[in-house]
Amino acid sequence: MEIPILYEDKDTLVINKPVDLVVNRARSIKGMTVQDWVEERGWYERTLELKNARTQDIEDLYRQRSGICHRLDKETSGCLMIAKHPEALSYYLDLFKNRKIIKTYLALVHGRVDPDQGETILPLKRSLYDREKWQVHYEGKRAVTAWKVEKRFNYPGHEHWKDSLTLLKLNLKTGRTHQIRVHMSFLGWPIFSDYKYLNRKFSRADREHLSHHFLHASSIEFNSYGGKKISIEAPLPMDCEKFLSSLT
């Protein structure tokens, strides 16, 4: 399995996760995952052999996660950070916890998003009716998503959304499961081709043009374990680029 590497040093790896590749292993998952790919790297085995003075908790956490610092949905492409040893994983998890890592996404959504930029603060909780989905709920955890309009497109045949699509740049100020997808759908701007949070009729129609939801982790910025300020960008998948170029 070939995965594009966007950045690498002795402590850190950032990959451009392809669409339809699952990040973490699970009993329900068949086929290779990013976790399997990591464990095939030569440095992973060497890391486990070097015990140093690390605690057992850090060692166990590293084995459990294979150094993967955060998650992306199966159909979401883009920047995914991996720590190459337990100490780096502990360091990066602390940065994520304290919101010191900037993650930016690109999403194509139905409708004309107005105003040009804004922020939504809506609590999220696992759906009461479908355990694989999440919903806005007053009992949920605080979730904050900021957006900025990049470009607007005409998309005839969708009167419900005034024949419009909008390309958004989004910044996650919290990292809840399905956060962008749930927030955008709740606001009336569901992500293009999203089979979970878009009306089934429209989702099927969208998938005639794009086989996966249009959500891409386009960049990530952080201070590395080695002390360097790092800024990484991931190019859009080719099918997303092609679809955008077909719009007016």
52-72 average pLDDT score = 84
Cis peptide before 237 (omega within 30 of 0): no
The domain that holds 105 is classified in CATH as: 3.30.2350.10
DSSP 11-37: SEEEEEEPTT--SS--TT--S--HHHH
Q: Please report the pLDDT score of residue 73 as a whole number.
A: 95
Name 98's Cβ contacts closer than 8 Å, sequence gap at least 6.
none
Is the model's pLDDT at 219 over the cut of 90?
Answer: yes
Q: Please report the pLDDT score of residue 11 as a whole number.
A: 95
pTM above 0.85, yes or no: yes
Question: Domain span at residue 38?
Answer: 5-245
169-197 average pLDDT score = 95
Provide the number of structural domains found in the chain.
1
pLDDT-derived band at 56 (thresholds 50, 70, 90) equals: confident
Nearest to 19 by CA among 245, 243, 247, 248: 243
How many helices (DSSP H) and strands (DSSP E) are in the chain?
Answer: 7, 11
Q: Please report the pLDDT score of residue 53 as a whole number.
A: 52
Query: Which listed residue (73, 130, 206, 239) is catalytic?
Result: 73
Helix axes 56-65, 86-97, angle to 10 degrees: 80
Can you tell me whether residue 141 is helix, strand or coil?
strand
- Is residue 14 a contact partner of residue 232, using CB atoms and an 8 Å limit? yes
Tell me, yes or no, if 57 is annotated catalytic. Answer: no
End-to-end Cα distance, the chain:
36
Q: Please report the pLDDT score of residue 46 as a whole number.
A: 75
| Alpha carbons within 13 A on the beta-carbon side of 210 | 28
CA distance 238 to 188: 27
